[in-house]
């Protein structure tokens, strides 16, 4: 298990940084976001179809909606502001497609590649090829194990899991179930995604001692291939079936998986139970305000995108790499890293992503959920 060593950056400093640098960009990002809907299946929104200086390789639209709704427009806005040519593509879940996209980027003269791999094996192959052509690779959000990336930009993903576990405990205390030896199930992310491993490391650091001393009973524990929400629904329905519906809380690794749990709970007309999530999606916030989700972990993508863009720009311009505040072990070497700080969002502060401009109020407070926003 690998550990991340981030700098002691306070939440207040993080939020101030966000406010200064990104609230002013919302208008620009809004324009960039329109490109999301015009994008083809390949996901290209480059300023120049050839000879792009920066290539961004996104993984899919299945593991999270954030890749297209948040990362793409924020990265595009940052590169456009810096005057760089760029190309942003999406592999739509195909490792072969992502490899082809990487090869094309190298052929077209990319100097830096931002990679969100689909799995460490295919990611490492892409990075090895890029390195042989003198192209720098930045692992973006996901760390490629045993890879060849020059840098890594993400959030402290062990901390993400810790926040999930800590808030799940708090919600069980608030519901009165903590003292009743609740059965806690775990719905983990894709086994091929190292981030899922780090998230699990984080929440298990909180939950395992409680299992060991008998405070909690460990329920079903299963990973979800490819973060597939439909598979997650099937898996959780099987968990309920095998336990006679006796599951009192679920640590779900992201909002999509969490919503699968909520869907199964509603379909069986069971009472809400504490459920975790991640990514601060509109759906996740809706589940929180309506009482069906305990917490989502908000990872302000503008901070991450800004850090990655600044780092890429410094590399292209031949300057000193900017923003490095940590070293992360990828299994073969320590990778210079930029790690931002995640934020827990509950019913008490659910408007935070909206106030930051990350979500629109209209995306959350709509239809049956409007009444919860008053």
C-alpha 237/C-alpha 13 separation (Å) is: 42
Shared-domain flag, residues 350 and 224: yes
Domain shared by 92 and 199, yes or no: no
- Do 104 and 175 fall within a single domain? no
CATH label of the domain that carries residue 327: 3.40.50.2300
Note whether 233 and 263 are same-domain residues.
yes
Q: Is 24 exposed, middle or buried (0-12, 13-18, 19+ CB in 10 A)?
A: exposed
Same domain, 204 and 284: yes
Q: What is the pLDDT of residue 41?
A: 35
Q: Is 202 helix (H, G, I), strand (E, B) or coil?
A: helix
Residue 6 falls within a domain, yes or no? no
State how far Cα 47 lies from the chain centre. 26
Residues 30 and 130 reside in one and the same domain: yes
Residues 50 and 111 in one domain: yes
36 and 165 inside one domain:
no
Is 294 domain-assigned? yes
What is this structure's pTM? Answer: 0.79
Decide if 102 contacts 125 (C-beta within 8 A): no
Element (H, E) at 119: none
pLDDT of residue 7: 39
- Do 207 and 105 lie in a common domain? no
Q: Can you give the residue range of the structural domain that contains 353?
A: 157-298+346-373
Residue 3 inside a domain? The answer is no
Whose CA is closest to 119, among 154, 95, 150, 152?
Answer: 95
Residues 267 and 358 in one domain: yes
Distance, CA of 72 to chain centre:
13
* Domains: count for the chain: 2
**289 in a domain, yes or no?**
yes
Residue 240: what pLDDT? 98
Below-50 pLDDT ranges, the chain: 1-49
- pLDDT recorded at residue 135: 97
Residue 65: what pLDDT?
Answer: 84
Name, in order, each residue with C-beta under 8 angstroms of 49's C-beta and a sequence gap of 6 or more.
87
Is 5 among the domain residues? no
Q: In 3D, which of 161, 157, 110, 165 has the Cα closest to residue 138?
A: 110
Do both 247 and 366 map to the same domain? Answer: yes
Q: Mark whether 50 and 168 lie in a shared domain.
A: no
Instruction: Report the 10 Å Cβ neighbour count for 293.
Output: 30
């Amino acid at each position: 298990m690998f550990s991340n060593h981030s700098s002691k950056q306070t939440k207040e400093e993080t939020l101030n940084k966000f406010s200064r640098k990104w609230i002013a960009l919302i208008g620009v990002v809004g324009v960039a976001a329109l490109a999301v809907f015009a994008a083809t299946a390949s996901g290209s929104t480059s300023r120049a179809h050839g000879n792009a200086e920066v290539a961004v390789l996104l993984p899919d639209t299945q593991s999270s909606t954030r890749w297209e709704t948040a990362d793409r427009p924020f990265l595009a806005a940052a590169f456009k502001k810096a005057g760089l040519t760029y190309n942003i593509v999406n592999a739509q879940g195909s490792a072969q497609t992502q490899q082809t996209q990487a090869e094309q980027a190298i052929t077209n003269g990319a100097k830096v590649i931002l990679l969100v791999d689909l799995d460490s094996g295919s990611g490492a192959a892409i990075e090895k090829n890029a390195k042989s052509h003198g192209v720098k690779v930045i692992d973006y959000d996901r760390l490629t194990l045993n890879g060849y990336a020059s840098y890594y930009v993400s959030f402290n993903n062990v901390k993400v899991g810790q926040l999930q576990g800590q808030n799940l405990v708090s919600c069980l205390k608030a519901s009165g179930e903590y003292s009743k030896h609740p059965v806690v199930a775990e719905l983990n992310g894709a086994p091929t995604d190292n981030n899922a491993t780090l998230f699990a490391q984080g929440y298990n650091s909180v939950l395992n001692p409680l299992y060991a001393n008998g405070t909690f009973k460990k329920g079903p524990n299963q990973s979800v291939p490819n973060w597939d929400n439909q598979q997650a629904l099937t898996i959780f329905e099987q968990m309920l079936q095998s336990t006679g519906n006796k599951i009192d809380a679920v640590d779900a690794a992201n909002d999509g998986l969490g919503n699968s749990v909520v869907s199964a709970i509603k379909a069986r007309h069971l009472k809400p139970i504490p459920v975790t999530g991640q990514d601060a999606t509109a759906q996740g916030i809706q589940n929180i305000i309506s009482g069906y989700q305990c917490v989502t972990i908000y990872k302000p993508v503008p901070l991450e995108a800004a850090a990655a863009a600044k780092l890429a720009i410094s590399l292209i311009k031949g300057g000193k790499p900017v923003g490095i505040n940590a070293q992360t072990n990828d299994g073969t070497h320590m990778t210079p890293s930029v790690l931002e700080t995640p934020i827990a969002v509950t019913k008490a502060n659910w408007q935070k992503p909206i106030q930051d401009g990350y979500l629109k109020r209209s995306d959350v407070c709509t239809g049956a959920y409007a009444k919860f926003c008053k």
